[in-house]
Amino acid sequence: MVTAPQPEKITVEGVEVDTRHWIGGERVTSADGATFTDVSPIDESVIGEISAGAEAEVDAAVAAARKAFPAWAGMPVAERAALLRKVADGVEARVEELAHVETRDNGALLRSHLRGVMPRVAMNFRFFADYLENDLAHPDMTVPGRGHRERITYDPAGVVAIITPWNAPLMLATWRIGPALAAGNTVVVKPPEWAPLTASLLADIMRDAGLPDGVFNVVQGTGVDAGAPLTRHPGINRLCFTGSVPTAGVIAAAAAPNIVPLSFELGGKSPLLVLDDADMDLAVDIAVEQFDNAGQVCLKGARLLVDAKIAEEFTQRVLDKARTLKQGDPRDLTSDVSALITRKHFETVDGFVQRAKADGARVLMGGGPNDELGGLFYSPTILADCPAGSEILTEEVFGPVLTIETFDGDEAGVAMANDTRFGLAATLVTSDPERAESVSAQLRAGTVWVNCFFVRDLGAPFGGSGQSGIGREGGIWSFDFYCDVKNSVFAPSN
């Protein structure tokens, strides 16, 4: 932490970014003047010093959110939806700026931010604004045999605390901010200290769209100093977190005394299950796609499980295709794989790989840092012959590391796929529609992709099984969480 005076604004990739918190419609420096250093994964250079919040800033943000709540919750639905569409418009107008800043901040590919991630950020607001106005209303029901009328309403819950991850910070934050605001709640966001900048730009967009003061608040800082006081705060009514299982346990314990409903999207060790009748081109393409975002994707199919009958061909073709990936500066639109987020995370990923090698795993590709590029660039790695039950097969590595295992027959493949305490996602490749139906039904995961990958519909439920999370969000499931769903029962009129 730094306490000396720092610039209130910095320029990142030609874009001006405010380094202060956004609380109650104002830019606020930390009461103690503390800042933290934001470092770019691309070259480990310092981007700037960012205001580091603590209990005082959290208290102020929650107070501002609570003050703003009655008016925001009471705003007519059409007006609230219109404001959120203005936010979506503001995001769309600044896609290039947001993409360049986030690429510098978290090291993800610029082309992905431009083509998919930032447009999806706008969609997170527009979809839930439309859902609020057009789809949320529930028809009245009648109690059978008695004639009583039941009215189901979705009442705003209050203040929503959202703690967001660094691997897709703006997209994953707005996936929750959008429905939380649409539902009539006010929001306090704690962005990731490893990639905080686009949350600050979002505050500017919210202001320009005309959101009332206090409806949206941003408190920057570390998990210990800003996240902890937010999770235990008695003034919050919902708590959302995306991150690791151990951190989720700490957060749940902190929130428990206040009986705050939780939505957790946690880690994964997802299988990519390739049956013996799979379209080989498709299976190979999906397998190599798992190196997206340098493997820093919770939904990634890190365990390549392939029927022994086709394993040799599949493995060779995956290696051939993976070796064509270009690793380099994510601002280069031809780069396919970028760097890991921090030096600490780089060492964590390498530790997994080196221990796997010591345990007897065979390196088919990569197996260590990219010495040619240096820095935080880790070579795309594929390992085989990993001992059953070993760490590399059971723990989330969250880097560009895949393992290959073989099985004999669908039953064995399903058993291998389900042999994990996680259950965020699973991917299945088969050319037989009947096998697709049968095998997908047996896979234990919140999302199962069949002959596709990473297809997301904002109206569908999303969440994890097992230790991959608590709850589901998307469409009506989001409003179920962000609202107090009320049933008012009316006696028949005389």
Residue 156 has pLDDT above 80, yes or no: yes
Confidence at 29, pLDDT banded by 50, 70, 90: very high
Neighbouring C-beta atoms of residue 252, cutoff 10 Å: 16
The model's pLDDT over 355-373, given as tens digits with 9 standing for 90+, comes to 999 999 999 999 999 999 9
Residue with tokens 């930032």: 118
Contact by Cβ (8 Å): 397, 295: yes
Neighbouring C-beta atoms of residue 92, cutoff 10 Å: 17
Angle between helices 169-182 and 77-93 (to 10 degrees): 160
Compute the average pLDDT of residues 438-447: 98
Backbone angles phi, psi at 284, to 5 degrees: -65, -45
**Strand spans (E) along 129-209:** 141-142, 149-156, 159-163, 186-190
Please tell me the distance from the alpha carbon of residue 161 to that of residue 170, in angstroms, as a whole number.
Answer: 15
The model's pLDDT over 204-228, given as tens digits with 9 standing for 90+, comes to 999 999 999 999 999 999 999 999 9
The per-residue pLDDT for 321 is: 98
213: amino acid identity, one letter: D
Confidence at 145, pLDDT banded by 50, 70, 90: confident
Confidence at 158, pLDDT banded by 50, 70, 90: very high
The per-residue pLDDT for 5 is: 65
Compute the average pLDDT of residues 259-268: 96
Contact by Cβ (8 Å): 479, 456: no
For residue 373, give the nearest of 332, 401, 318 by alpha carbon.
332
Confidence at 493, pLDDT banded by 50, 70, 90: confident
Please tell me the distance from the alpha carbon of residue 110 to that of residue 96, in angstroms, as a whole number.
Answer: 9
| Torsion sign over Cα 420, 425, 428, 433 | positive
Number of H helices, E strands in the chain: 16, 22
Residue 398 has pLDDT above 80, yes or no: yes
Confidence at 2, pLDDT banded by 50, 70, 90: low
Residue 98 has pLDDT above 70, yes or no: yes
For 269-316, the DSSP string reads --EEEE-TT--HHHHHHHHHHTTGGGG--TT---EEEEETTTHHHHHH
Helix, strand, coil % in the chain, rounded to nearest 5: 40, 20, 40
Residue 494 has pLDDT above 80, yes or no: no
CA angle 262, 268, 271 (to 5 degrees): 140
Q: Which residues contact 93 (CB under 8 A, 6 or more apart)?
A: none
Please tell me the distance from the alpha carbon of residue 178 to that of residue 130, in angstroms, as a whole number.
Answer: 11
The model's pLDDT over 273-332, given as tens digits with 9 standing for 90+, comes to 999 999 999 999 999 999 999 999 999 999 999 999 999 999 999 999 999 999 999 999
Residue 6 has pLDDT above 80, yes or no: no
Residues that are catalytic: 265, 298
Confidence at 256, pLDDT banded by 50, 70, 90: very high
Residue 4 has pLDDT above 80, yes or no: no
Residue 79 has pLDDT above 70, yes or no: yes
Please tell me the distance from the alpha carbon of residue 257 to that of residue 487, in angstroms, as a whole number.
Answer: 27
The per-residue pLDDT for 142 is: 93
Q: What is the pTM of this model?
A: 0.96
Average pLDDT in the chain: 97
Compute the average pLDDT of residues 376-385: 98
Q: What burial class does residue 33 get, using C-beta atoms within 10 Å of its C-beta: 0-12 exposed, 13-18 middle, 19+ buried?
A: middle
For residue 166, give the nearest of 141, 144, 197, 128 by alpha carbon.
197
Compute the average pLDDT of residues 257-272: 97
Q: Which residues contact 472 (CB under 8 A, 6 or more apart)?
A: 446, 461, 462, 463, 481
